[in-house]
Every structure is written in structure tokens, then in C-alpha cells.
Structure 1
Amino acid sequence: MRWNGWKLGMVLVILLLVSGCGERRELETSAFVSVIGLDKAEQDHQVKVTFQISNPQVNTTQSAEAQKEPPSDIVTITSVDLLSAKELAQSSLSREITFSHLQTIIVGEELARDDLFKHIIGSAIIDPEMRRETIMIVSKERAQAFIHANKPTMETRPHKYYQFMEDNWRKTGFSPVSNLNAFFQRTEGELFLAAYATAERDPIGIRHDDDYSAGEVPQDSGDPVQMIGSAVMQEGKMVGMLNGEETRISQLLRRKNLIETMTAEFPDPLNENYQISLVLNQSSHTEIEVDTDRSPVKIDVKVPLQVKVNSNIALEDFTASQKRRDALREMVKEKMEEASDSLIKKLQENYTGEPFVWYATARRNFWTVSGFENFEWGEKFKEADVDLHYEVSVTSFGEQLSPPAFKKFEEDK
């Protein structure tokens, strides 16, 4: 029997296609874990792993058949590590557990502050299903309690809930965009900010809209979970916290800001009895220069900031004169620089390092990696001379009932 070239080619193609079916897995035989919770167990070197497994039939074309079924199942296993807990969980689950749809990892604060955490998460990343894009959140309470308490009314699918929350972080800046990839990149001494959350309420009274941490927002009803502020991680464990305002500023001081826009309250420069709401964003990257040849190290930072008036409660007309417009711009500049200086002072006094990724700029001044490591950037930052300036431009003064043209007004005397 003679084989033509094209027939042989067709056989090879078919063999290649069929050979990929050996590891196939039917959807109905899989248990898709969307959220993992990690807590410190009572025994030494043990961890409690909570798996939140999505119900694939909820909110689908088969939802009519699953009207009385819960949107997810929650199972907690105590073991030596995450992957061992995954195997042990199969003792009570008929379907095969998979991390292919894993969206979020919740870490209880008690475990996050323990050296055990970096060993647990470091050993788990070898699983090819553990994606480095997985969202990382630190919960004030135990992760097991947080997962059970988190029952959002607007979104029954847990993986969609956390995806939407991450999208909100990019728009508000209340929490950092934190994932496993960034965490593993900064385990050598640099500070890493992880989103901070809680389902416990501990209101502290009315403050500015971003001057809260998780659980402190004065909320009377709605979903129990609050995500605002950040957990400060260093060398793989939690060493402190930043509130919502400090978290926002931390992202503005990075060379590349991940926040699209954010709304904040400021004192009205024309009427001290009122606050004015402003929308802030950046049109270009923050400029950072680091002089490592002098002692102490000199750091120059210029932050471009665009401002739009969002809500003007005092109904003051900033378009009436250049003097009024300058007062608004100077007020924003002063308040932002004051808050940024306060944050830098807090970091220098309490931590060895910074979360702004300024070390990447300083590293360019060294020929070798070992040279930079011997420089001990974290210690140098504690004594660094930081010169920080905001370059504020006001692009909109808000909607007016009768918006006047600038040229029709005389300057205030």
C-alpha cells in the first residue's frame, strides 16, 4: 500500500489533535474552587484551609434546576499545607477539586503576621493551577469566618464578586491592586501592600471619606464586608497597616499609578464651613530621582495631578477670578503634600523600606545586583531626605447653572 504525502500529513495532524484529549476533564465531574482561605491552626506548623467551591449551575441556563441550591459550598480542612488539604478535602467531596478557576486567596491576619505564612504560600505556588494573578486579601478576622460572613446581596457568584471589587479598587484607590505575582516579587525586604478587609463593624465616627480602615466606615446596612486600606507586608509577613488615605497616596507616589481616578474631600478654600469634592487623576507618570552618592540619600519626587470639581456644596464660583482658581489649586497642593509627608514620616519611623517601588530607580545607580544589595536600601530610606512636590492643574470647575466665560470677569483686587 502506497501512502501519498498529503495522506501521511493528514494522519499526523489527526494524531496530534487526538493526543491532547488524554488529560481532559468533564465539567460535571469537577469542583471549581473560586476562593481559598488560610488561617493559623491550633497545632504548631498546621494551617486551616477553607475552600469556597462555586456551584456551576447557579445563574446559568440550568438555574431553574438549582433554585434551592446554594451558590457555593464551603469546606475547611486542617493540614500541614494547602496542597495536602486539597487532597484531604476529597474525602467529603464527590467531585474532583480544581484550582483552574481560583480567583482569590483570603489570609487571616493572625496567619499573615506569622512566619508560617510565607512557607505555606511559597510551597503552594508549585501547583500549576495556582495562578500568580490570583487576588490576595488579608482579613482582620479569621479567613474562615470572613468567607462564611461574606454574602453579598447583589452578586451570588463569589468569583464575580471579587473580580468586581478589584475593578473598583482601580477606580477608587481605597485598596491596592494586590496579587500573588506582586507579592512574590517583593519578598526580599521591599514593602508590599495587600488589600485589607473585614466583615466586622467597628465604626469610629465621621471622618474624611478616605480616612478609614476596613470595618471603620460608618455604614448602617448593606453587605457586611468592607474593603478599604491595606496590610503592609515585608519579607513575606504582615508588619502593619495603612488606612484608605495612606493607601491612595502610596499609589500616587509610584512611578506608574494603577488608579484610574479617585474622588476625595478637601476644605473649601473660599468657605471654611464647607467641604469640596474633587476628582483626581494623573495625565503622566510620577517623576522620581534618587541620588545614592550622598548621605543621607536624596529623593526628589514630582507628582502630576489633575483636578476636577465634583461637588461644590458652598456654591462658590471658582470661574469668577484667577485668584479663586489659584486658591483652589494651592489648597490641593498643600493638603496633598502635607498628607504625603506624613505618610513618608510614618514609613521611615516604623518600617525598613517603602511601598512606592522607589528602590527600582535607586537600583539603576549600581553596576551589579550585589552592589545594590550591599547598599541596604531599606536602611538608607529610613534616613533619606525626601523632597516631594505636587504639580496641580485644575481642568474643570464643575457644572454651573450659567457657566460664565473667564474673560468676562475682572480679577479680584
Structure 2
Amino acid sequence: MKFKAALILIPMALLLSGCWDKLELEEQAYVVVLGLDTAKDNNVNVTFQIANPQVGSTDKGNAPNEPPSDTITFSASDILAAKELANSVVTRKLSFAHLRTLVISEEMAKSNLLANVLGYSMRDPELRREINIVVSREKSSQFIHKNKPKLETRPHKYYAFMQQRWRDTAHVPYATLNRYMQRVHGELFLAIYGTTERLAAQSSKDEDSYKAGEIPQKAGDPVQIMGSAVIRNGLMIGTLTGEETRHALLLRKKALAHNFVSSFPDPQNRNYRITLRLIKEKNSKIKINVKKDPPEVDVEIPITLQILSIPSLVNYVSDLNNQKLLKQAVKEELENTSKRIVAKCQKNYQGEPFIWYLEARKQFWTMDEFEQYDWEKKFTEASVNIKYDLKIESFGKQMAPQRIEQED
């Protein structure tokens, strides 16, 4: 019996195994950045930035004069059609296996074509849902061509490192293709906002109250990425600054950016600002009462503070009264800013990017009841109470900085 089974299985293994569909690395062209722009006749201009695997590797000696990447643009009905068209020009087979970044122009983000193009393109198994979405003020092809970072030779490394920095600073949201598709109907979706264009720079004491293009920068990389693009029903309807984006993320139950640095006015000397590290170790407490009309939303956000610098040299270390004053001032500043952002979303954007709808949905037995309730409309009239629960953890390693005496 065993001998007969072996006679059957061995020929099957020989027939089913093989390497008929294998491709060597040098036969493939890896797209690391994809760009989308509007075109005529409901077509899309698709830009492919293709990485050169030899540049930046130990094999660079075989290609000393080759560029780190090649960028080409094709006009087609969607991404998959443009990919097939590109395969007739590029000598190697295009692959999305290493694609991490999708750049969409603001014009494209405001068109009805975007949701359809992204929805149908996700049928390609290589187009992963973890791709980060960046909305650029200018055309995406211009954004990709102008982005030439000096410290990173390989383009995919630049975006990989920047995505980690975005999580550290919380100036931009965590925006992936999967999250976009989840919130394409009804809920607000926040996408990363970037540009290579410079607007009239206006210096501000508040270092995170900028959007991309407004940061007062001299020299360095041309790309600025800060703030978020607000998308509703697949269409871009506005933008948020870096500060507003931070608070939108803090108001969510779970925070991906668990700590970041920010400055606040010194309550004892308004000519100075105190730099703090804000740490969110626990989830926010969100309670929604849908039985009231309008509904009531209570949000409590636990934050641990670390004092990093006190330029005014006011004694906040040993003076408990000063500590209490500082804590109250930071609490009021955070609560007032969060309330302004909630009011802006209620009035201007007619929706909420705080993912509170998940908490509201728990109050209903069925999805039909929740949909009939129309949470997005109810949110615009909701009474929102925001409370920050602050705790000062430390004042740094140097408890009492050296005071510099001014000579008369």
C-alpha cells in the first residue's frame, strides 16, 4: 500500500514542483514611490519612481555612474493599466513588492476619480494595504522629481526613515491605504500633507502651528511634510496644521505617537516658553451618551509631563506653588486647543477624525440602528467635554541649572 502511494505521489511532486515562474533580481524593477495626478478624459497620470538596487549597495562598483532611481510617468485609466503600459517601455518587469509610499496631488485628492482608482487598483496582490498616503500641494510628479535628499542615496530609505520620524513627532497622521479604504464612507480620514513649494514663511512662537510649505527653513532638503489633509467620502475638503493633527491624534482612544516634545508659554514670564515632553502611556477614556439630544461626549486624556527646559529660570523644581501653576497653565492650553479643533471639525468639516464613532457604535444593538442614528450628523451638534489629566514626572537630570549673572 505504501509502495503504491509512493508511486502516485512522486510523479505528482515532479510535475507540480519547478521554477517556471521565477524571476532573478536583475530582471525586476522595484517601484518604491507611486504618484497620482489628474489627466484628460478621466485618465490618470501615474508616476513610477523605480529604485536602482546597485546604487547604495556593495555592488555599486559595477555601476559607478548610474542614478539611484529612474522616474517615469504614463497616462492611463488606472494604476494597473499604467503598470502594464510601463512594462512595454521599462526593460525589467515592474514590481510593487517594495512599494511603501503613494503620493497624490491635491488636485487629484479633490476629484471624484481618486476613490475609484484606488479601490480597483487594490485587486493587484502586490499593492499592499500598508502603503502610506501623502497628499502633495503640487503635482505628485513634481513632488517626486524635486525630492532629492542629500543624506539618503536610495529613495526608499528616505521614506522609511521619515515614516519613523512622523511617528515620533506626531506632526502628521498614520495614514495607510487600508485606513483610507476603511473610512472612505462618512468618517473623516487624515492623510499626510507635504510639498516642495515654499509659501511666505511666517515665524511663530508655537513651533508646530505650521503646515507643509510654511516652515521657516533655510537650505536642506526641499520637501516639507507637516500637518494633514482632511478627506471625507474620498474627497479632500481641507487641511490641519501640525498642532491640530497632534491634538486630533491625542483625542483618539489609542495613540500611535506615545510621546512627543512641545513648548508652552511660561505662566510666570510670558516672554519665554517652557519645553515639555508629553507622554501618553494609557488610552483615552471616551464616554458617549447617545440617549441625549444632542449627544454628550466626555473625553479624558492621561498625560505625563517631563520638563526639558525652563529658559526663564523660574524655580519650578522645588517650589510646589509654581509647579501647580505650571500644571494648570499647560492643562488649560491643551484643553482650549483641543476644543478649538473639535469645533472646527463640527463646523467646517461636518465630521470627526477622532474615531469616536467606534465608541458611539457600541451603544446600539445592530448596525442598522447605528446607521439610522446618523452619527456624523449628530456629532456636529454634540456637546463635547475634554479633560486632560496631567502628572509631572521629572525635571531632567540637572535639577537646578546654573544661573548666569548679568553684569551692570
TM-score of the superposed pair, with normalisation by structure 2: 0.94
1:23 Cα offset (Å): 2.4
Q: In the TM superposition, what are the counterparts of 1:2-41 in structure 2 within 5 Å?
A: 4=3, 11=10, 15=14, 19=17, 21-41=19-39
1:173 Cα offset (Å): 0.3
1:327 Cα offset (Å): 1.0
Q: Which residue of 2 aligns with 1:134?
A: 131
Distance in 1 of aligned mates of 2:18 and 2:354: 45
Q: Which residue of 1 aligns with 2:78?
A: 81
Q: Which residue of 1 aligns with 2:404?
A: none
Counterpart among 248, 251, 268 of residue 249 in structure 2: 251
Q: Which residue of 2 aligns with 1:58?
A: 55
1:401 Cα offset (Å): 5.6
Q: In the TM superposition, what are the counterparts of 1:2-401 in structure 2 within 5 Å?
A: 4=3, 11=10, 15=14, 19=17, 21-41=19-39, 43-207=40-204, 208-400=206-398
Q: Secondary structure at the match of 1:400?
A: coil
Distance in 2 of aligned mates of 1:60 and 1:324: 55
Structure 1: 5+ residue stretches without partners: 404-413
2:214 partner amino acid: E
- Structure 1 residues 204 and 22: CA distance shift in structure 2, 3 A: same
Give CA-to-partner distance per residue, 1:148-193, whole Å, 9 cap, x none: 0000111121111111111111110011111001000101110000
Distance in 2 of aligned mates of 1:178 and 1:21: 37
Contact 1:33 1:52 (8 Å CA) reproduced: yes
2:309 partner amino acid: S
Q: Secondary structure at the match of 2:141?
A: helix
Distance in 1 of aligned mates of 2:91 and 2:132: 27
Misfit runs of 4+, over 3 Å: 2-16
Distance in 2 of aligned mates of 1:25 and 1:203: 50
Distance in 2 of aligned mates of 1:275 and 1:311: 9
1:57 Cα offset (Å): 0.6
2:170 partner amino acid: G
Distance in 1 of aligned mates of 2:8 and 2:397: 68
- Structure 1 residues 393 and 3: CA distance shift in structure 2, 3 A: closer
1:320 Cα offset (Å): 2.0
Give CA-to-partner distance per residue, 1:87-109, whole Å, 9 cap, x none: 11122211111111111100000
* Count of residue pairs brought into register by the alignment: 400
Contact 1:203 1:217 (8 Å CA) reproduced: no
Give CA-to-partner distance per residue, 1:26-81, whole Å, 9 cap, x none: 1111111011000001x131110000000011111111112211110001001111
- Structure 1 residues 241 and 11: CA distance shift in structure 2, 3 A: same
- Say which is worse superposed, 356-365 or 93-102, in terms of deviation: 93-102
- Structure 1 residues 12 and 287: CA distance shift in structure 2, 3 A: farther
